[in-house]
Amino acid sequence: MAKLQKKAWVLVADGEKALFLRNVAGAAHPELEVLRVESQENPRQGEQTSDRPGRIPDTGAGQLSAMEEPDWHRLAKDRFAAGIADIVNREAYAGTFEDIVLVAPPKTLGELRDHLHEGAAGRVRAEIAKTLTNHPLPEIKRRVIEALAEH
């Protein structure tokens, strides 16, 4: 059964918000404090696209085919996760934390994992595939402790 060690970090993120938390108590009775909050505005996909997709010439004379619009909302979430991974990388390099638990939806976890450097990735003690960014701290703590007990 894994425990949340004293001074361990917990990163609770999704594609629009990230909470950097630290356990300020012992492993037996963890207590999380907020170190940093990052967020970004990310309107729905429909608010970020044009009225109709672009067109490209097709094989027939005068024929045009529609181009698929990029998913700007998803791209913004991925860029946000990459930026959060950069923060984790810098803090790991600076020796700010020894252990970190990542809590994020599966796609965001994948993006974080893809952008973590070896030094930061080696400090990840657990990954929890859940969206908890809008939960109160006591609920986040409870869910993290439960998930660590399963590891």
- What φ, ψ does residue 100 adopt, rounded to 5°? -140, 145
Residue ranges per domain, the chain?
9-37+69-150
CATH class entry, domain 9-37+69-150 = alpha beta
pTM of structure:
0.81
pLDDT one digit per residue (tens) for the chain, 151 residues: 478 999 999 999 998 999 999 999 988 899 999 999 999 865 555 555 555 555 566 666 666 655 566 677 788 888 999 999 999 999 999 999 999 999 999 999 999 999 999 999 999 999 999 999 999 999 999 999 998 888 7
CB 4 within 8 A of CB 10: yes
